[in-house]
Each structure stands twice: as C-alpha cells, then as structure tokens.
Amino acid sequence: AQSVTQPDIHITVSEGASLELRCNYSYGATPYLFWYVQSPGQGLQLLLKYFSGDTLVQGIKGFEAEFKRSQSSFNLRKPSVHWSDAAEYFCAVLNSGYSTLTFGKGTMLLVSP
C-alpha cells in the first residue's frame, strides 16, 4: 500500500530564511505527487504537483519541490520565508487506480520574527 511520511511534525524558521519540508513516499510505479497548504481553520490549497517530466516543479507563492526517485522523496522548498507562510503543509501521493490520495500527517511551519 502507498504511504507518505513527513518526518517533521513542527518546524520553526526565521522570517527571510530558507525552508525545506521533507516528504518521503512509498509507491511502486511513477508517483503523482502533491503538496498542499492549510491555513488555520481553512481547507487545503494546492501548492504544486508532479505528474511527470521535469523533476523540479514550481508552484504558487514562490514554492518549489524536487522529485528524487532514487530517494523516494518530494521535498518542498522556498528560498525566503514570509510570516504569512506559517501554516500546515501536507504531502500526498495519488494511489494506484487513481482513486484516492494518501496524505502525510502534515508539518506545521512556524515563522519567527
């Protein structure tokens, strides 16, 4: 069965510093991968997706992610974090048969002044 691991439950980053959120997946074939962001009390918003092709994908709000098959990873990055980026971030993989998504348990990003 597919699985997604986000090893960090919480991360604190200073405003203006760079950010990397880790995501590891377990999937037999080429995965379809996603990163979502959830602001407090809100639903999830799609940041970016990887289906195929270029392994470095650009998303909204200045985020990017790199697919590394050899490491089964899809880490999310941002070069300079803003206070408004404080939120919870979820990595997800589309399950075989393309029926459902499997989500990681999320990483809460805190931004310090």
- Rounded to the nearest whole angstrom, what is the least distance from the CB of residue 106 to another protein in the complex? 5
- Rounded to the nearest whole angstrom, what is the least distance from the CB of residue 26 to another protein in the complex? 16
- Rounded to the nearest whole angstrom, what is the least distance from the CB of residue 14 to another protein in the complex? 25
**Residue 59 near another protein by CB under 8 A:** no
Candidate list 25, 34, 35, 50; residue touching another protein; CB under 8 A: 34
**In the beta sheet, which residues pair with residue 104?**
none
**Residue 30 near another protein by CB under 8 A:** no
- Number of residues in contact with another protein under rule CB under 8 A: 17
Are 66 and 55 in contact by the 8 Å Cβ rule? The answer is yes
d(CA 9, CA 108): 6
87: which 2 tokens? 């939120």
d(CA 96, CA 87): 29
d(CA 15, CA 1): 38
**Residue 99 near another protein by CB under 8 A:** yes
**Residue 45 near another protein by CB under 8 A:** yes
Are 44 and 34 in contact by the 8 Å Cβ rule? The answer is no
**Residue 103 near another protein by CB under 8 A:** yes
d(CA 74, CA 33): 8
Q: Which residues bind another protein (CB under 8 A)?
A: 34, 36, 41-46, 49, 90, 99-101, 103-106
